[in-house]
Amino acid sequence: MKDARAALRYAKAILNLAKDSKEETVVNDDMLLIGATISENDDLEVMLRSPIVKSEDKIKVLNALFGSKINNITLGLFHLLEDNKRIAMLESIAKQYAIIYDYDKHMQEAKVITAVPLTKDVEKAVLAKIVALTGEKANLVNEVNESILGGFILRVGDVQYDASISNYLNELKKEFDNSHYIPKI
């Protein structure tokens, strides 16, 4: 990604501006919405990157999509990017903003893989345990994977804890395979 450094600079500038007006959380929500919308819609991404589509038409599309849903700081970013002919970087900037926002707020992403979706009570308990273990808050992402049979796999940063039934069964199988016990007849 050739514009990664520029995207990071824009994201930092927007975060500082949002902090000054104490709206960094609202702008983060905007950036998450924008990043997800662009990454899920190939046509929108192609349109934003297209040199054939005029900048003012791109802004009209962005205003139609997000105009009433987003903060004025985020709307200002659209126009700044239009003026600097960098509207194609919007998705990268949105993703960079979310990353530095989480870092600034001492947030980390915790991924929990379970056989069934987590309930709200279990989700709260997992988040509390993560805070107790790491000392930092986390955004919890629940991925459902029925192949683990039960239990869970928790990933926080570069640490993984596997308490799944499938892992337990694999460990048990290894134990039996490595056993050299031969019954006497």
What mean pLDDT comes out for the span 12-17? Answer: 93
Mean pLDDT of 2-22: 89
- What pLDDT band is residue 177 in, cutting at 50, 70 and 90? confident
Q: With 90 as the cut, is the pLDDT of residue 94 above it? A: yes
pTM of the predicted protein model: 0.66
- Residue 81, CA distances (Å) to 7, 142, 162 in order: 11, 34, 44
- For 18-52, write each residue's pLDDT tens digit: 999 999 999 999 999 999 999 999 999 999 999 99
Q: What is the pLDDT of residue 185?
A: 65
For the beta carbon of residue 181, count every other beta carbon within 10 angstroms: 5
Please report the pLDDT score of residue 11 as a whole number. Answer: 93
Question: Region 10-22: what's the mean pLDDT?
Answer: 93
Sequence spans of domains, the chain: 4-103, 106-178
Predicted confidence at residue 151, as pLDDT, reads 85
Q: Which pLDDT score is estimated for 181?
A: 61
Q: Which helix (H) or strand (E) holds 58?
A: helix 55-66
State which CATH number among 1.20.1250.20, 3.90.170.10, 1.10.520.20, 3.40.640.10 fits the domain covering 4-103: 1.10.520.20
Tokens of 132: 């107790």
Tell me the pLDDT tens digit for each residue of 101-142: 988 887 788 888 888 998 889 888 888 888 887 778 888 888
- pLDDT band with cut points at 50, 70 and 90 for residue 182: low
- 3-class SS at 155? strand
User: Is the predicted pLDDT of residue 77 greater than 70, yes or no?
Assistant: yes
Q: Averaged over 62-86, what is the pLDDT?
A: 89
Angle at 156 between CA 154 and CA 157, to 5 degrees: 145
Model confidence at 178, pLDDT cuts 50, 70, 90, reads confident
Could you give the CA distance from residue 150 to residue 163 in angstroms, rounded to a whole number? 9
Confidence of residue 10 (pLDDT cuts 50, 70, 90): very high
